[in-house]
Amino acid sequence: MALLEVNQVSKDFGGVRALNFIDFEVNQGEILAIIGPNGAGKTTLVNCVNKVYPFETGEIHFDGKNITKLPSHKVAGLGIARTFQNIALFKGMTVLENIMLGAHARMKTGVILGGIYWGKAQKREIETRRKVEEIIDFLEMEHVRKSVVGPLAYGIQKRVEFARALALEPKLIVLDECMAGMNLEEKEDMARFILDANEELDKTIVLIEHDMGFVMDISDRIRGRDTRGNTGSPRRNSGLSGRRR
């Protein structure tokens, strides 16, 4: 069953067509990889899905709803979370505080109750804190939970971004080059966490990635993007050792 459907989406930047009538779908419970060279429009495609960018043609449906005209914060509230190619954390805040921010779309108590921190707002805050602590344990970051993010190792910062996406309690997570800049050990850890999120937390995941060894090891399907903005036909991965299905 398709969780996300992208139909005939095109995106122009002035006289440059970055996306050219793109069609693809993401099935419930899978890990889908979107690959392609620099400049192929992979991040642009993600930004259209998240409604960071408006687009010229096409429609996007998520979980049976047409989200084409929804603003980005509404799309996030429906259950689409993402990480960024360039780390987008609050470097002066702690790991815990950054991850707590990821849960803001689920906080439904309003400004007044939230401000006085009483009743329903207090209960919701305590419940959110408990879930965030579970995510920290899940991603093995207990030792840095109260550390300021800025000085932490690059691989840990990428892990914090993933944790913040999980804190939204999403149905779909888009990981934009989550392996970029990591060493081999950090990549192996991230691959394990992505697989665990997919299998144990039942998260559907879209990967935008250049590391083909990583992509082939853990993805269920692969879609190619060429420099003209076209999306190639899906193909199954090769079943290398990293996939634990």
- Please spell the DSSP secondary structure of 136-174, one letter per residue: HHHTT-GGGTTSBSTTS-HHHHHHHHHHHHHHT--SEEE
What global pTM score does this model have? 0.84
Could you say which architecture CATH assigns to the domain 2-236? Answer: 3-Layer(aba) Sandwich (3.40)
| pLDDT in 10s for each residue of the chain, 245 residues | 799 999 999 999 988 999 999 999 999 999 999 988 888 889 999 999 999 999 999 999 999 999 999 999 899 989 999 998 888 899 999 999 999 988 876 666 554 455 555 567 677 778 888 999 999 999 999 999 999 999 999 999 999 999 999 999 999 999 998 888 889 999 999 999 999 999 999 999 999 988 888 888 899 999 875 434 445 443 333 333 334 44
pLDDT of residue 207: 94
Beta-strand relationship, 204-208 and 31-35: parallel
Token pair for 126? 């305590």
What integer pLDDT is reported at residue 32 of this predicted model?
96
Domain segments of the chain: what residues?
A: 2-236
Q: Which residues contact 69 (CB under 8 A, 6 or more apart)?
A: none
CA atoms within 13 A on the CB side of 52: 10
pLDDT at 105: 65
Confidence at residue 235, expressed as pLDDT on a 0 to 100 scale: 38
Give the pLDDT confidence score for residue 126 in this predicted structure. 84
| Sign of the Cα pseudo-torsion (47, 53, 59, 65, in order) | positive
